[in-house]
Amino acid sequence: AIVFLSLGLSAKAQNYEPSASNLKQREWFSNARFGLFIHWGPFSIPGSGEWVMNDRKLTVHNYTNLKDFFNPIDFDAAAYVSMAKNAGMKYITLITRHHDGFSMWDTKYSDFNIMNTPYKKDIVKMVADECHKQGIQLYFYYSLLDWRREDFPHETGRTGQNSGRKGKGDYASYLQFMKNQLTELLTNYGEIGGIWFDGHWDQTAPEGEADRSSRIDWKYDEIYGLIHKLQPQCMIGNNHHLTPFAGEDFQMFERDLPGENASGLSFQTASDKLPLETCETISKSWGYNLSDTSYKTNKQLVNMLVKASSLGANLLLNIGPMPSGKVQPEFQNRLASMGEWLKFYGESIYNTKAGFVKPQPWGSVTQKDNKVYIHILDSKNASVAFDKFPYKKITKAYLLKDKTPIKFIHKKGLTEVYTGFANEEIDNVVVLEVAK
Residues forming a β-bridge with 334: none
**Residue 50 near ligand H79 by CB under 6 A:** yes
- Measure CA 326 to chain center: 22
**Residue 285 near ligand H79 by CB under 6 A:** no
CB of residue 143 to ligand H79, shortest distance in Å: 8
Tell me if 250 sits within 8 A of 29, measured CB to CB: yes
Q: What angle separates helix 298-310 from helix 329-345, to the nearest 10 degrees?
A: 50
Choose, by CB under 6 A, the member of 198, 249, 280, 427 that binds ligand H79.
Answer: 198
CB of residue 281 to ligand H79, shortest distance in Å: 9
**Residue 284 near ligand H79 by CB under 6 A:** no
Choose, by CB under 6 A, the member of 130, 254, 256, 277 that binds ligand H79.
Answer: 254
Choose, by CB under 6 A, the member of 16, 152, 253, 286 that binds ligand H79.
Answer: 286
Choose, by CB under 6 A, the member of 158, 179, 296, 396 that binds ligand H79.
Answer: 158
CB of residue 264 to ligand H79, shortest distance in Å: 8
Our CB check for ligand H79 shows the closer of 145 and 426 to be 145
CB of residue 37 to ligand H79, shortest distance in Å: 7
Distances from the Cα of 178 to the Cα of 103, 106, 224, 225, 372, angstroms: 11, 15, 11, 13, 45
Our CB check for ligand H79 shows the closer of 146 and 198 to be 198
Our CB check for ligand H79 shows the closer of 50 and 256 to be 50
Q: What angle separates helix 123-134 from helix 77-86, to the nearest 10 degrees?
A: 40
Choose, by CB under 6 A, the member of 48, 96, 117, 159 that binds ligand H79.
Answer: 159
Instruction: List the one residue out of 140, 59, 147 whose CA is nearest residue 99.
Output: 147
CB of residue 50 to ligand H79, shortest distance in Å: 5
| Greatest CA separation for the chain | 71
Tell me if 73 sits within 8 A of 325, measured CB to CB: yes
Distances from the Cα of 120 to the Cα of 66, 79, 90, 126, 268, angstroms: 14, 20, 29, 12, 41
**Residue 277 near ligand H79 by CB under 6 A:** no
**Residue 256 near ligand H79 by CB under 6 A:** no
Rounded-to-integer distance, Cα 258 and Cα 235, Å: 19
CB of residue 216 to ligand H79, shortest distance in Å: 15
* Site residue total, ligand H79 (CB under 6 A): 10
**Residue 146 near ligand H79 by CB under 6 A:** no
Our CB check for ligand H79 shows the closer of 99 and 375 to be 99
CB of residue 198 to ligand H79, shortest distance in Å: 5
To 5 degrees, how large is the angle CA 149–CA 52–CA 106? 50
Instruction: List the one residue out of 410, 411, 401, 409 whose CA is nearest residue 431.
Output: 401
CB of residue 217 to ligand H79, shortest distance in Å: 20
Our CB check for ligand H79 shows the closer of 127 and 316 to be 316
Q: What angle separates helix 171-185 from helix 220-230, to the nearest 10 degrees?
A: 20
To 5 degrees, how large is the angle CA 223–CA 313–CA 349? 135
Our CB check for ligand H79 shows the closer of 131 and 144 to be 144
Question: What does the binding site for ligand H79 look like in residue numbers (CB under 6 A)?
Answer: 50-51, 158-159, 198, 201, 254, 265, 279, 286
